[in-house]
Structure 1
Amino acid sequence: MPVMSPADLQKFIDEEFPQAVEAGAVIEHLDDTSIRIRLPTHERNLRPGGTVSGPTLMFLVDFGFYLLLLGRLGPVALAVTTNLNINFMRRPERADLIGEGRLLKLGRSLAVGDFMIRSEGKPDPVAHATVTYSIPPKRGLPQG
């Protein structure tokens, strides 16, 4: 079972990462190795031509994996992205985005996962990403 529930994560985000609250992301599923998160799209998420912007898709990956990692480890505010590689596969619909992330490896200092993003109601993915996070050392433990 995750160390933090979706409600615990929301409280943590409200306190530590308030700029993410405006995005309106909602955790629909969370377990030890996976997360499903919904991100409503708004006019501010659109680029010229009316498609959902790449930075919006990258935010969903980065934020979603951060939540998955916190769910597993607890409130580690200083876990940071060290790599994010995204492939844009098709034009997203102007609909909610559904991101499904998996934790593939959790080590002492790095976590690796992947994320698939779909437009709500559409079976084909709009983007696929891999992501690596650095996990800060626990205080008071010798490094080596």
Structure 2
Amino acid sequence: MDDEAPSPAAIEAIMHRGVPLAAAWGIEVISAAGGLATCRLPWREELLRPGGTVSGPALMGLADVAMWAALFGVTCGRDESLTTSLTIHFMRRLAPGPVIAEARLLKRGRIIVGEVLIRSEASEEVAAHVTTSWAAVSAAPRPSR
């Protein structure tokens, strides 16, 4: 394991700077350490699709951010890895309300593999299952002066 993981609030701040959409949606990092992360998407009417269901794009964005949080939890908040694939299986509709994403790293190396379970904050029933892979990218060295 790398050095000590930053706090969830520190990871959230890094993510909001790196992905302004995560900030605009108000995605919260509840926990992130040891290759696991839990993120929360607050209720926002603009994330609904016709029929009053939380939209697929919102759930995919939440899953991607949650996996990044899981990576930050083992890379001390320093990670420039890139999503290479994301497959989502929608298992049941999510009614309006806050959404929880629980991410976990399954394999870490040049290719990173993980999964995310998405559910309503009001239920333990999984609404979407996500598998994702990422290409590990090392931070570019800073030029010396």
Whether the TM-score (by the shorter chain) exceeds 0.5 is yes
* 1:78 aligned partner: 80
* 1:123 aligned partner: 124
User: Matched residues in 2 for 1:14 and 1:137: separation?
Assistant: 20
* 2:48 aligned partner: 46
| 1:95 to 2:97 alignment | yes
| 1:135 to 2:122 alignment | no
Letter in 2 for 1:131: T
User: Matched residues in 2 for 1:121 and 1:30: separation?
Assistant: 21
* 1:37 aligned partner: 39
Cα distance, 1:77 vs. partner? 5.1
Query: What TM-score does the superposition give when structure 2 sets the normalisation length?
Result: 0.86
Structure 2 spans left out of the alignment, 5+ residues: none
CA displacement 1:65-107 (0-9 Å, x = unmatched) = 0121122113445311001010000010211001111111111
Distance 1:2 1:118, change over 3 A: farther
Mean CA deviation greater in 86-95 or 131-140: 131-140
RMSD across aligned positions (CA) = 1.8
Q: Is the 8 A contact 1:26 1:39 kept in 2?
A: yes
| 1:64 to 2:62 alignment | no
Distance 1:6 1:65, change over 3 A: same
SS of the residue aligned with 1:22?
Answer: helix
User: Matched residues in 2 for 1:136 and 1:21: separation?
Assistant: 23
Q: Identity of paired residues, percent?
A: 36
Structure 1 spans left out of the alignment, 5+ residues: none
Q: Give the count of matched residue pairs.
A: 139
Letter in 1 for 2:114: G
Cα distance, 1:124 vs. partner? 1.2
1:13 aligns with one of 12, 15, 34: 15
Cα distance, 1:63 vs. partner? 0.8
Letter in 2 for 1:63: V
CA displacement 1:92-134 (0-9 Å, x = unmatched) = 0211001111111111x22111000111111211100001111
Mean CA deviation greater in 109-118 or 76-85: 76-85
Query: What TM-score does the superposition give when structure 1 sets the normalisation length?
Result: 0.87
Distance 1:77 1:53, change over 3 A: same
Letter in 2 for 1:117: I
Distance 1:14 1:88, change over 3 A: closer
Mean CA deviation greater in 129-138 or 67-76: 67-76
